[in-house]
Amino acid sequence: MKKFLIRREMEGAGSIPKHDLNSAGKGSEEVLEAMRSEGKNIMQEQSYVVGDAIFCIYNSDSENLIKEHSERSGVPASEISEIATVIKHNTSVVS
């Protein structure tokens, strides 16, 4: 699978209560589970809340699956970028 960085612009994201973020995360995971049950290779690694945006790291076979997840979960993706290289800073090893 390929690795993607997704930017979701969301005004005031940094001040969203943790309870609401957890609820949104559960809803997103339910959509991911449904997609995987349909034989689609997609999974979320982690998300980061930064100012007025949420950045998510996903593994997926294609950008189209990321777009499908965004549509089905009701959480638009402002930008989707395929990650070309990961640099592990604790070892300075490129993978």
Measured N-to-C along each axis, helices 63-73 and 18-37 cross at an angle, to the nearest 10 degrees, of 120
Token pair, residue 55, equals: 């950045």
| Strand extents, DSSP E, 24-68 | 42-50, 53-60
pTM: 0.83
Superfamily per CATH, domain 2-94: ORF SCO4226, nickel-binding ferredoxin-like monomer (3.30.70.3090)
Q: pLDDT, tens digit, for every residue of 46-79?
A: 999 988 999 999 999 999 999 999 999 988 899 9
Question: How far is the C-alpha of 52 from the C-alpha of 7, rounded, in Å?
Answer: 10
Looking at every residue in the chain, the average pLDDT score rounds to 89
Asked whether the predicted pLDDT for residue 30 surpasses 60, the reply is yes
4: which DSSP letter?
E
Asked whether the predicted pLDDT for residue 24 surpasses 80, the reply is no
Question: How far is the C-alpha of 15 from the C-alpha of 29, rounded, in Å?
Answer: 22
pLDDT at 23: 72
